[in-house]
Amino acid sequence: MRIKSNLENYFFIMPAVVIFTVFYIIPFLWVAHLSLCDWDGILPTKTFVGLQNFKEIIIQDPSWWQSMWNAGYITLIALTLQNALAFLLALACDREIKMKNFYRVIFFIPPVLSEIVVGMVWRFIINDVDGANMINRGLTAMGFGQFAQSWLNNPKTALTTVALVHSWKGFGWGFLIFLAGLQTIPKELYEAARVDGASAWDYFKRVAIPLMVPVIVLVAILTVLGTMQAFALILGLVGGEFAGHTSVPVLRILAVMRDSSRFGYACAQGIGFGAILVAISFIQYRLSKRYRNA
C-alpha cells in the first residue's frame, strides 16, 4: 500500500521532473561536456581537450577579464546608485503621499521595456551622431556647455554612461521589491519608535534597515545576477564592444561563438561565468546571514 502511494506521488511529480531534466539538466550537462571540447559548432566530430579551454580563459584571455572588469563596474554602480535610488523611492512611496500609485506604475515602466529598445532610445537621447543629443543641449542651455561631450563615443565616459542607463532601466525592480518589503514592517514599530522619541533617521537606521536586510540581500543578489549578464542594452547603446571599453562577458561569449566559431571555448566561458555568479551570490548570502545573526 505504501509502495503504491509512493509510486503515485512520484507519478504526479514526473512531468515536472521530466521537464526539468530535459530543459535544464541535460542542456547543462551538454554544455559542460562541450566546455571540455574543441568544436566549431558544425562538424560532427568534437576533439576532447580536457581543461585546456578553462586554462586559456584564466591565463591567456585578457579580453575576457576586461569584460569581467567592465561588468563588475556596471554592477557596482547598479548595487550602489541604482539600489539606493530604488530604496529611497520605495521609502517615499511607502508614506502617505499623493499619487503614490501613479508613481509606482511610472517607476515600473523602465524594467518592463525591452533592453534593446531602451538602449536605442537612450542612444537617441545621448548621441550626437544619429541622435538628438538632448543631454548636451540641456547642459549648454544651463550654462554647462564645457561638460558637453560625446558620451557614448568617448572611451572615458562610455562605460559609465552604459552603467547609468542600465541603472535607470533596472531601478524599478528594486523599487518594487523594496516597497513590498517596507510594507511588511508593522506600523506599530513605527508608532512605538515615534513614542520613544526616535527621529525619522533613527527609525530608518535602527528599525527599517535591520528588518529589511533579507530584502536588501535579495535585491543585491538579483542585481548582481541581472547586471553581470546584461548585453542587449549595450548592443543598443554602443553597437558592441567599442574596442573593449564596453565589452561584457555575454558579449565576449557571443563573439567567441559567432565570430570565432569556438563553441567549446564559449561553453567553457559560460560555465566559468556561471560559477563566478554562483560564488558571488553565495558570498552575499553568507555575509547577510552573518550580519543578521550579529
Partner 1 sequence: MTDRQDAFQTLAQKYEAETGIQVNFELYAPSEQYSQKVRAAAQGQNLPDIFGILSEKKDFSSFIKSGHIADLTPELEKNNCAWKETFFPNALRVNEFKSDDAYGVKPGIYGIPIDVMTIEMLYNKNLLEKAGLDPEKPPATWAEFIAVGKKLKELGIQGLVSGWGEIWMIDCFASNYAFNIMGKDKMLSTIRGEVAYTDPDWIKVLSLFEQMRDAGIPAVGLLTMINKTAEQVFANEKAAFAFNGSWCVNVYEGMNPNLDYAAILPPAASDQYPMMVWGGAGSSFVINDRSGEKEIAIEFLKWFTARDQQIFLANKTKNLPANKDALEGIPTILAQFADDMEYATHPSIWGVSEFPVVTEALDKGIQSIILGEKTPLQVASEVQKIKERELARKK
Nearer to partner 1, 227 or 247 (CB): 247
How near is the Cβ of 256 to partner 1 at its closest, in Å? 8
Considering only CA atoms, give the Rg of the chain.
24
Q: Which three cell numbers, joined as nine digits, stand for 74?
A: 556596471
Mark the segment that binds partner 1 (CB under 8 A) among 3-11, 18-26, 121-129, 176-184.
Answer: 121-129
Give yes or no for residue 240 binding partner 1 (CB under 8 A): yes
Classify the phi-psi angles of 242: left when phi > 0, otherwise alpha if psi is within -120 to 50, otherwise beta. Answer: left
Give yes or no for residue 160 binding partner 1 (CB under 8 A): no
Give yes or no for residue 59 binding partner 1 (CB under 8 A): no
Beta strand 47-48 with 37-38 is: antiparallel
**Distance between CA 22 and CA 20 in Å, rounded?**
6
Question: Do 224 and 202 contact (CB within 8 A), yes or no?
Answer: no
Nearer to partner 1, 210 or 239 (CB): 239
Mark the segment that binds partner 1 (CB under 8 A) among 99-107, 151-159, 171-179, 266-274.
Answer: 151-159
How near is the Cβ of 170 to partner 1 at its closest, in Å? 22
Give yes or no for residue 43 binding partner 1 (CB under 8 A): yes
> Please, which residues have CB within 8 angstroms of residue 67's CB and are 6 or more apart in sequence?
241, 244, 247, 248, 249, 251, 252
Nearer to partner 1, 75 or 247 (CB): 247
Give yes or no for residue 243 binding partner 1 (CB under 8 A): yes
How near is the Cβ of 225 to partner 1 at its closest, in Å? 24
Closest CA to 160 of 149, 168, 151: 151
How near is the Cβ of 249 to partner 1 at its closest, in Å? 16
Question: Do 22 and 28 contact (CB within 8 A), yes or no?
Answer: no
Mark the segment that binds partner 1 (CB under 8 A) among 92-100, 184-192, 211-219, 241-249.
Answer: 241-249
Hey, which residues between 128 and 147 contact partner 1 (CB under 8 A)? 128-130
How near is the Cβ of 276 to partner 1 at its closest, in Å? 22
Task: Pick one of 127, 136, 167, 227: the residue that binds partner 1 (CB under 8 A).
Answer: 127
Give yes or no for residue 40 binding partner 1 (CB under 8 A): yes
Nearer to partner 1, 203 or 265 (CB): 265
- In the complex, the residues that contact partner 1 under the rule CB under 8 A are 40-44, 60, 63, 127-130, 150, 152-153, 155, 158, 238-244, 255, 258-262
